[in-house]
């Protein structure tokens, strides 16, 4: 919200400038404001507020595009010519002057926000053609000028009324663009975070595979197959919005089996899962917790009774993943960027609709992660 307000601060500045100019011009007698014409005053104020704000909002763009500045200056000169013509014409509410003023205002909008104008040019031109046609009919074919004057204020509202409608439509497109920008930024950040996963694990596994092939070990083909499955899953399935929970379980099991091959010591690894295999979830969220359990738990534990206990269940409309491991408290057990990576991904994916609980003792580390499944 703050970023949005900063981006469109020009409209707050424009509001102040428009109000000050209105008071100044009224004080100098340049304009006369009828306090009884509330709708006309509001619509007129909105128009000039929007026009001035857009000019301020696009000031950086105008500075970079000299041709646009020339167009704006040319239009201002065009406006002066219109006012001179109108002052010399002995005809109140001259239809030619009104037409030229309408062209001037539409040209200003086209120069400042060309993309929006081009997208809605049919609606804009049709609206103002209709408004001008109605005005022209009453101006030229009324029974008397006095009768026309009685209706003139309502007629000019026809020109002002579309302004807040199109301004709101433009604001909506800006808001939508801003939301899409945030979404794309989040997707890019999420992709970057996923790309940071598991590099050291794959390198370690390749080193072990190299050692196995030198020894002509029978385990080498198994390692290649599991490593291939994991890399495929990380690269291809990891990019998907959702995967089945069965696929995620198989991925975790492959990870566990590859680690078992690495260790000479005995490790108690238990993975219980009682869930509907067809449940859909976001991919690659549990692996960081399992990776940390091996890296900072099993690898730091000097004895043969290292353990990792995991449980995956579906309760109260949430998928809950619990993982507990022991570790050597005399070693630094800082989980590093992996957990921070996970926290950031959870925020991007679920906002506040998730739970991540960490319970640590001198020699045990337990994490509970609750995430919603795909509806």
Which three-class secondary structure state does DSSP give residue 97?
helix
Q: Are 319 and 373 in contact (CB under 8 A)?
A: yes
Q: Quick one: which of 353, 375, 357, 374 has its CA closest to 366? A: 357
The residue among 138 and 83 whose pLDDT is bigger is 138
Burial environment of residue 59 by CB neighbours within 10 A (0 to 12, 13 to 18, 19 or more): exposed
Residue whose entry in the numeric block shows the structure tokens 């001008």:
132
Reported as half-sphere exposure (CB side, CA atoms, 13 A), residue 340 has a value of 5
**Whole-angstrom distance, CA of residue 293 vs CA of residue 369:** 14
Identify the CA nearest to 255 among candidates 293, 281, 217. 293
- 186: helix, strand or coil: helix
Q: What percent of the chain has pLDDT over 70?
A: 83
Residue 319 CA to its chain's centroid (Å): 27
- In this prediction, residue 46 has a pLDDT band, given cuts at 50, 70 and 90, of confident
pLDDT score for 31: 66
Q: What is the pLDDT of residues 80-136, one digit of tens each?
A: 787 777 777 677 778 888 888 888 888 888 887 888 888 888 999 999 899 888 888
Say whether pLDDT at 247 is over 90: yes
pLDDT (0 to 100) of residue 313: 94
| Residues contacting 340, CB < 8 A, separation 6+ | none
Q: What is the pLDDT of residue 271?
A: 95
Residue 183 confidence class, pLDDT cut points 50, 70, 90: low
The C-alpha angle with vertex 284 and arms to 280 and 288, in degrees rounded to 5, equals 140
The better pLDDT of the pair 183, 375 is held by 183
Please, are residues 134 and 155 in contact by the beta-carbon 8 Å criterion? yes
Contact 59, 52 (CB under 8 A): no
């Amino acid at each position: 919200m703050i970023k949005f307000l900063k981006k469109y601060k020009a409209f707050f500045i424009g509001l102040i400038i428009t109000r000050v100019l209105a008071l100044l011009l009224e004080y100098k007698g340049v304009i006369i404001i009828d306090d009884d014409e509330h709708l006309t005053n509001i619509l007129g104020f909105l128009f000039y507020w929007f026009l001035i704000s857009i000019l301020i909002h696009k000031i950086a763009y105008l500075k970079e595009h000299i041709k646009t500045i020339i167009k704006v200056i040319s239009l201002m000169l065009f406006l002066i010519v219109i006012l001179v013509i109108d002052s010399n014409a002995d005809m109140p509410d001259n239809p030619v002057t009104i037409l030229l003023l309408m062209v001037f205002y539409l040209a200003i909008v086209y120069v400042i926000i060309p993309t929006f104008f081009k997208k809605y040019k049919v609606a804009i031109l049709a609206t103002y053609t209709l408004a001008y046609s109605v005005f022209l009919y009453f101006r030229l074919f009324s029974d008397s000028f006095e009768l026309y004057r009685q209706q003139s204020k309502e007629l000019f509202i026809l020109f002002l009324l579309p302004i807040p409608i199109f301004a709101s439509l433009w604001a909506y497109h800006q808001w939508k663009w801003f939301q899409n920008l945030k979404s794309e930024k989040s997707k890019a950040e999420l992709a970057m975070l996923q790309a940071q996963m598991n590099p050291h694990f794959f390198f370690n596994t390749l080193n072990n595979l190299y050692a196995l092939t030198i020894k002509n070990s029978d385990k080498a083909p198994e390692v290649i197959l599991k490593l291939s499955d994991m890399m495929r899953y990380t690269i291809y399935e990891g990019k998907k919005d959702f995967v089945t929970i069965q696929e995620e379980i198989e991925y975790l099991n492959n990870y566990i089996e590859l680690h078992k091959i690495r260790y000479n010591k005995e490790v108690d690894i238990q993975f219980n899962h009682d869930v509907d295999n067809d449940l859909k979830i976001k991919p690659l969220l549990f692996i960081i917790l399992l990776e940390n359990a091996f890296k900072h738990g099993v690898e730091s534990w000097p004895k043969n009774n290292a353990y990792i206990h995991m449980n995956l269940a579906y309760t109260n409309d949430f998928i809950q993943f619990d993982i507990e491991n022991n570790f050597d408290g005399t070693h630094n057990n800082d989980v590093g960027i992996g957990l921070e990576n996970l926290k950031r991904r959870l925020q991007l994916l679920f906002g506040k609709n998730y739970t991540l609980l960490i319970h640590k003792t001198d020699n045990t580390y337990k994490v509970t992660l609750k995430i919603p499944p795909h509806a």
